[in-house]
């Protein structure tokens, strides 16, 4: 199977290449695609050096599938052109997520809605993906009324420039800045631009995407998204109120048996999820499970996942796996 990765030289694109190999996806030919300035450079895939090509040449190569991770404007311009040539597209940007005609997919939650007619499929926001993987099995059992989430997000979510800024500051060297403020020894309570309602675009992505993925507009969600000086994964403190009463032991049992979830919840052993433990893993880690003692039917939980993997690249490859296994491409 011929596969294209658009944005193959970026953090998420390069991770997609790794994950195709790790998960033994049946790639017979890889077509790496990037911006004009990267055309002619090479990437390594399965031990081979492969030249980066232009968008036009990628379409001409007729891959069966293209994974996009090159920004919203690129996706808006080029994804329809790939689709018009019979190429299935899984897009990692925000370009198509809230388009009513496009599916927004987390395989553990809603892959079943995909059909052969879906040519452009949206990959959700990284912070949304890990949250819904943890919440969906509980929603099925107890029915979620309201979610209050605060995120603590890795600099890798911004990209290489942000990673470089963190280490320039840590090493006291000069370099380009991805943020308006220092990130080392600091916390920035802004991810993406501010909207008219006072929330950031990142926060409102979580609100809207969650309802679409879980196919339930009745869920009320409010978010605060924060950038912190770590690598390895995003963390989320989630307070979730249910329609129905729950037993904590049953909550733990449900999560332990849920696909893509690993429970790390042992107070005595000081066992709980952290970015260091989630780094380079594909699962969503859940811990600090406890009742909210201020109101009924309400749970506190701590959720951590590698944002470059399950939050982006792995989720996209898992969508591709589902499509292949179910004859959708």
Query: For all residues of the chain together, what is the average pLDDT?
Result: 97
Regarding pTM above 0.85, the answer is yes
- Whole-number pLDDT of residue 113: 98
**Sequence-separated (6 or more) residues with CB below 8 Å from residue 294:** none
- Percent of the chain at pLDDT above 90? 98
pLDDT at 324 over 90: yes
Q: What does the pLDDT look like over 243-300, one tens digit per residue? A: 999 999 999 999 999 999 999 999 999 999 999 999 999 999 999 999 999 999 999 9
What confidence score (pLDDT) does residue 36 get?
A: 86
Whether residue 139 contacts residue 110, with contact meaning beta carbons closer than 8 Å, is answered with no
pLDDT at residue 87, rounded to an integer: 98
Query: Quick one: pLDDT at residue 108?
Result: 98
pLDDT higher than threshold 90 for residue 51: yes
Q: Kindly list the structural domains of the chain, giving each domain's residue range(s) and its CATH number in brackets, ordered by start.
A: 2-124+312-325 (3.40.50.720), 127-307 (3.30.360.10)
pLDDT score of 304: 98
Residue 192 above 90 pLDDT?
Answer: yes
Q: Give the catalytic positions in this structure.
A: 126, 234
Distance (Å, whole) CA 67 – CA 31 = 10
Cα distances (Å, whole numbers) of residue 120 to 57, 71, 247, 254, 287? 19, 15, 41, 33, 35
- 233 has a pLDDT exceeding 90: yes
Strand ranges (E), 71-185: 88-91, 103-104, 120-122, 144-153
Query: In this structure, are residues 26 and 2 in contact, taking their beta carbons and an 8 Å threshold?
Result: no
Q: Is the pLDDT of residue 242 over 90?
A: yes
Angle at alpha carbon of residue 196, lines to 190 and 198, rounded to 5°: 40
Q: What is the pLDDT of residues 89-118, one digit of tens each?
A: 999 999 999 999 999 999 999 999 999 999
CA gyration radius for the chain? 20
- The answer to whether the CB of 63 falls within 8 A of the CB of 85 is no
pLDDT cut 70: percent of the chain above it: 100
Mean pLDDT of 185-190: 98
pLDDT at 329: 86
Q: Is residue 28 pLDDT above 90, yes or no?
A: yes
> What burial letters (b/e) apply to 50-61, b meaning 16+ CB within 10 Å?
bebbebeebbee
Residue 65 has pLDDT above 90, yes or no: yes
């Amino acid at each position: 199977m011929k596969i294209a990765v658009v944005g193959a030289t970026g953090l998420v694109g390069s991770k997609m290449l790794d994950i195709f190999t790790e998960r033994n996806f049946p790639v017979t030919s890889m077509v790496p695609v990037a911006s004009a300035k990267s055309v002619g450079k090479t990437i390594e895939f399965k031990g081979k050096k492969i030249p980066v090509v232009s968008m036009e040449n990628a379409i001409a190569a007729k891959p069966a599938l293209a994974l996009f991770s090159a920004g919203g404007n690129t996706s808006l311009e080029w994804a329809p052109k790939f689709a018009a040539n019979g190429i299935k597209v899984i897009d990692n940007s925000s370009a198509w997520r809230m388009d009513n005609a496009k599916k927004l997919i987390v395989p553990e939650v809603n892959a079943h809605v995909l059909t052969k007619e879906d040519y452009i499929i949206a990959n959700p926001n990284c912070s949304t993906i890990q949250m819904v993987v943890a919440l969906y099995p509980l929603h099925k059992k107890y029915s979620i009324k309201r979610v209050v989430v605060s995120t603590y997000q890795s600099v890798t979510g911004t990209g290489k420039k942000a990673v470089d800024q963190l280490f320039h500051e840590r090493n006291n060297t000069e370099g380009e800045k991805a943020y308006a403020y220092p990130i080392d020894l600091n916390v920035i309570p802004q991810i993406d631009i501010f909207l008219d309602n006072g929330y950031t675009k990142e926060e409102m992505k979580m609100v809207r995407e969650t309802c679409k993925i879980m196919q339930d507009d009745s869920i009320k969600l409010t978010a605060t998204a924060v950038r912190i000086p770590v690598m390895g994964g995003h963390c989320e403190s989630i307070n979730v109120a249910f329609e129905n009463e729950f037993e904590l032991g049953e909550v733990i049992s449900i999560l332990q048996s849920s696909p893509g979830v690993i429970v790390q919840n042992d107070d005595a052993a000081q066992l709980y999820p952290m970015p260091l433990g989630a780094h380079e893993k594909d699962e969503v880690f859940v811990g600090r499970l406890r009742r909210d003692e201020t109101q009924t039917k309400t749970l506190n939980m701590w959720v951590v996942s590698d944002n470059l993997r399950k939050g982006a690249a792995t989720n996209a490859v898992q969508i591709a796996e589902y499509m292949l296994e179910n004859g959708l491409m």
